[in-house]
C-alpha cells in the first residue's frame, strides 16, 4: 500500500533552485574579531537537540528519504579502483532498492544522492559511470587531506579537476593560518582557490578537529565565507575528530549571521563520522532550527559520508517489514 504521507514529503526529483552565488566581500577583520564562543553553552545547546526533536514511523521514513538527497556519496581510499567508483556511481543513481521504494509508494520516484565525491584521478571514471544523469562530481583538491603543499600547486590541482569534469571542488585550508591567526593570509588563499574554481562550486574544509577552539572555528568560517566559499565543511574525514553537532552549531550560526549581513546564502557540509540514520536526522533538525527550511536542499546542505546510506536503507527496510536486515543486503553499505 502506498504511504501517502511519505509520498507527499519526499522530493520526487532534483529541483533546480536559483541561489545567488556567494561572491564574497572585502576582508574586514572587524566583522569577526569580537567573536568569543562559550564552549559549554554550545555543548549544552547541542546536547538538547536530539532530546527535543523526534520523528517516528512514516514521518521518519520521509525524513530519511529526504536525507539521501543530501549525501555526497564518497570514496577516498588509497585502494580506489575503476570498479569501486563505478559501483559507487551506480549506488548514487539508485540509492534505495526498488522493492523498498515500491512498498513505500515511491516506485515511480527518482531519488539520487546529492553528488559523488572522489579523488582527482577517478573523475574520468565517475564521469563515464554517471553519463546521462545530472549528478555532479565533487573532487577533493589542494593537497587533500593535509593541505601541506604550496598555494601554486593547490591552484593547479583545482584547475585540473575542473577541466576533468568536476562541478564541485572540496578544498582544504592551511590549518597553520588558523592556529597562527593569520586571517588576511587565509582570506587570500581561499579567494585564490575560489577564482581557480571558476564555475565549479567550492566547499571549503576547515578540519575543525584540528582547530583548538570554537572561537577559531567561528572566525575561520567567517573568513572562508568572506573569501567566496559556496559551502563551508567541517572535515576531510581523515582527522581523529570529524563532524560533531557542537561544531556544526558554531558553523551554522556563522552562516546565518553572514547571510544577515550580506544576503548571501552559504551552504553547510558536515563530513566524517556520520554513519547512522539517527545521526543524519539530528543534523537535519539542526539545519531546520538554525537556518530554516530554505537550507534543506542539496544546493545548501550536504553530508560527506560513505557508510551512512547503508544504515538509512536498513532503517527504511525496517519501516516496511518490521525487521532489520543484514548490511550485506544493501550494496555499498
Q: Mean pLDDT, 10 residues at a time, over the chain (333 residues)?
A: 38 56 98 96 91 86 96 95 96 93 92 97 98 96 97 98 98 98 98 98 98 97 98 96 97 98 98 94 96 97 92 94 79 57
| Contact indicator for 105, 145 with CB cutoff of 8 Å | no
The phi-psi region of residue 322 (left if phi > 0; otherwise alpha if psi is between -120 and 50; otherwise beta) is left
Catalytic residue, candidates 91, 103, 154, 233: 233
Q: In CATH, what number is assigned to the domain containing residue 279?
A: 3.20.20.70
Rg over CA atoms, the chain: 19
Is residue 110 among the annotated active site residues?
A: no
Which of helix, strand or coil describes residue 71? strand
Write out the three cell numbers for 37: 564562543
d(CA 170, CA 147): 11
For 134, the domain range is 21-329
Residues 6+ apart with CB under 8 A from 325: 314, 317, 318
- pTM reported for the whole predicted model: 0.92
Residue 280 counted as domain residue: yes
Count of the separate structural domains present in the chain: 1
Catalytic residue, candidates 103, 269, 279, 311: 269
- The model's pLDDT over 98-157, given as tens digits with 9 standing for 90+, comes to 999 999 999 899 999 999 999 999 999 999 999 999 999 999 999 999 999 999 999 999
- What is the pairing mode between strands 137-140 and 168-172? parallel
Is residue 170 among the annotated active site residues?
A: yes
d(CA 321, CA 196): 49
Residue 16 counted as domain residue: no
Residue 301 counted as domain residue: yes
Q: Report the 10 Å Cβ neighbour count for 329.
A: 12
Is residue 131 among the annotated active site residues?
A: no
Residue 13 counted as domain residue: no
Residue 4 counted as domain residue: no
Catalytic residue, candidates 170, 230, 279, 311: 170
Q: 278 to each of 180, 218, 234, 312, how far by Cα in Å?
A: 37, 26, 19, 9
* pLDDT score for 51: 77
* pLDDT score for 271: 97
* pLDDT score for 55: 86
* pLDDT score for 2: 38
* pLDDT score for 331: 64
Per the listing, cell 569501486 goes with 84
Residue 15 counted as domain residue: no
Q: 15 to each of 19, 127, 135, 187, 297, how far by Cα in Å?
A: 12, 21, 12, 33, 9
Amino acid at each position: 500500500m502506498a504511504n501517502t504521507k511519505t509520498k507527499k514529503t519526499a522530493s520526487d526529483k532534483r529541483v533546480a533552485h536559483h541561489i545567488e552565488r556567494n561572491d564574497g566581500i572585502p576582508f574586514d577583520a572587524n566583522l569577526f574579531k569580537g567573536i568569543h564562543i562559550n564552549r559549554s553553552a554550545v555543548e549544552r545547546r547541542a546536547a538538547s537537540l536530539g532530546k527535543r526533536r523526534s520523528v517516528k514511523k512514516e514521518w521518519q521514513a520521509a525524513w530519511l528519504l529526504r536525507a539521501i538527497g543530501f549525501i555526497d556519496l564518497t570514496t577516498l581510499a588509497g585502494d580506489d579502483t575503476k570498479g569501486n567508483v563505478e559501483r559507487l556511481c551506480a549506488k548514487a543513481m539508485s540509492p534505495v532498492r526498488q522493492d523498498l521504494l515500491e512498498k513505500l509508494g515511491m516506485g515511480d520516484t527518482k531519488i539520487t544522492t546529492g553528488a559523488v565525491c572522489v579523488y582527482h584521478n577517478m573523475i574520468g571514471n565517475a564521469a563515464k559511470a554517471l553519463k546521462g544523469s545530472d549528478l555532479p562530481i565533487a573532487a577533493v583538491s589542494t593537497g587533500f587531506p593535509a593541505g601541506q603543499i604550496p598555494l601554486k600547486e593547490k591552484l593547479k590541482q583545482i584547475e585540473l579537476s575542473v577541466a576533468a569534469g568536476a562541478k564541485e571542488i572540496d578544498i582544504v585550508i592551511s590549518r597553520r593560518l588558523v592556529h597562527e591567526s593569520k586571517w588576511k593570509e587565509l582570506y587570500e588563499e581561499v579567494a585564490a582557490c575560489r577564482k581557480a574554481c571558476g564555475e565549479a562550486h567550492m566547499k571549503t574544509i576547515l578540519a575543525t578537529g584540528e582547530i583548538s577552539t570554537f572561537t577559531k572555528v567561528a572566525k575561520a568560517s567567517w573568513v572562508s565565507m568572506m573569501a567566496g566559499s559556496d559551502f563551508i565543511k567541517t572535515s576531510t574525514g581523515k582527522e581523529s575528530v570529524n563532524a560533531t553537532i557542537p561544531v556544526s552549531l558554531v558553523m551554522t550560526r556563522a552562516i546565518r549571521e553572514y547571510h544577515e549581513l550580506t544576503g548571501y546564502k552559504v551552504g553547510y557540509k558536515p563530513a566524517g563520522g556520520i554513519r547512522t540514520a539517527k545521526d543524519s536526522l539530528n543534523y537535519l533538525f539542526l539545519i531546520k532550527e538554525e537556518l530554516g527550511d530554505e537550507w534543506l536542499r542539496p544546493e545548501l546542505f550536504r553530508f560527506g559520508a560513505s557508510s551512512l546510506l547503508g544504515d538509512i536503507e536498513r532503517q527504511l527496510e525496517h519501516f516496511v517489514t518490521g525487521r532489520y536486515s543484514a548490511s550485506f543486503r544493501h550494496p555499498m553499505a
